[in-house]
Amino acid sequence: MQVADKFMKLISGKKPETCKLIVSSHNYENTPSAEELGNLVAQIQATGADIVKIATTATEIIDVARMFQILVHCQEKQVPIIGLVMNDRGFISRVLCPKFGGYLTFGTLEKGKESAPAQPTIADLINVYNIRQIGPDTKVFGIIGKPVGHSKSPILHNEAFRSVGFNAVYVPFLVDDLANFLTTYSSPDFAGFSCTIPHKEAAVRCCDEVDPIARDIGAVNTIIRKSDGKLVGYNTDYVGAISAIEDGIRALQPTETTTSPLAGRLFVVIGAGGAGKALAYGAKEKGARVVIANRTFARAQELGNLIGAPALSLAELENYHPEEGMILANTTAIGMHPNVNETPLSKQALKSYAVVFDAVYTPKDTRLLREAAECGATVVSGLEMFIRQAMGQFEHFTGMPAPDSLMRDIVLAKI
């Protein structure tokens, strides 16, 4: 039968036997309650729809949980349903729909030509999120942050999971309130999380148990849900960052001693958030003389008091050069894409530093690192910290050794 003939039958009220009718509802303001969504499903079914389609809008990521609830309910009732939640906070609905029984999802053929907010490309659904392999038994991991869209962690972890045959998917969670998120997504299906800005400190309070080192640091970047439902927090940032800086120094200054090349050095940490705490703690443990600098002096002072280090404002740091050969570690988001022309410290001030590390890895060569290299400093990219902390997270997530060379190759090739 020709398409025109089929269309004429539809508008005359006679549906061809070979056709499936999708009836959809779009809500561009919010996501209704689970009860309201259930009623909407019934209304759509009453029209004679073969497939129910509901698209709503997320005001918070917890809204998506109600859509997942409806998907599961419809699957149990054998009602074919497409249930998607629009915008960045609803992104996970587009990737995780097959896990919860969604009939299908939507993707755009190319970036920039999306038909709805935060729609992924078909290539990303297949190649990054491995959507064809997602099913009811697939464990869900992901990175919690705000912002989070820039993160390359999904590329890295999903390919690493695939390489070892681990049935899991790793997605970005754009989270406003960490406690609400963890309470809402409390099922064993949501097995573990990476935490980034601004949730690392809040994660300490949200976990049932916290590794002693993470508690000392006061920041958690990795959360694991145990079989009994309890959340356990760890910190893999400090080992990843400190080992990257040490190896960067040793590469240019080979030494046979087992003493850390940070021992006795003046180590300036910019930033007093979760990553700043991790770097300050790690450097102090290695015997460095730590100084904390932050845009808000009170935050710098708070961290300084916590670890026994002097504090400076970022403005004061411009003229701080008590000695040559210092080490600088930027743990803030200054210079991160899209604000690539920003830098936490002027080029003139960088002349006092022998080693400069930047936790920002998008872009890899930040303005801070470029100008530090031009001043003759040894520079260490945030990609090294990213790779190493991710390896630690992978081992917590899977209980398996991290595929070291594979993860490094992925980062160098794709990030």
The residues assigned a catalytic role are 26, 53, 200, 237
What's the rounded Cα separation, in Å, for the pair 162 and 144?
21
Handedness of CA 243, 247, 249, 253 (dihedral sign): positive
From residue 305, give the alpha-carbon distance in Å to each of 67, 90, 277, 321, 331: 46, 40, 12, 21, 18
Q: Phi/psi at 292 (nearest 5 deg)?
A: -105, 130
Cα–Cα dist 278/138, whole Å: 32
Yes or no: say if 76 and 68 are a contact pair by the CB < 8 Å rule: no
Q: How far apart are CA 173 and CA 61, in angstroms?
A: 7
CA atoms within 13 A on the CB side of 48: 9
Non-local CB neighbours of 199 within 8 Å, separated by 6+ positions = 144, 145, 146, 175, 178, 274
Neighbours of 248 (CB within 10 A): 19
* Nearest residue to 65 (alpha-carbon basis) of 173, 157, 207: 173
Strand, coil or helix: what is 224?
strand
Torsion of CA 160, 162, 167, 172, to 10 degrees: 60
Contact 355/245 with Cβ under 8 angstroms?
A: yes
Amino acid sitting at position 224: I
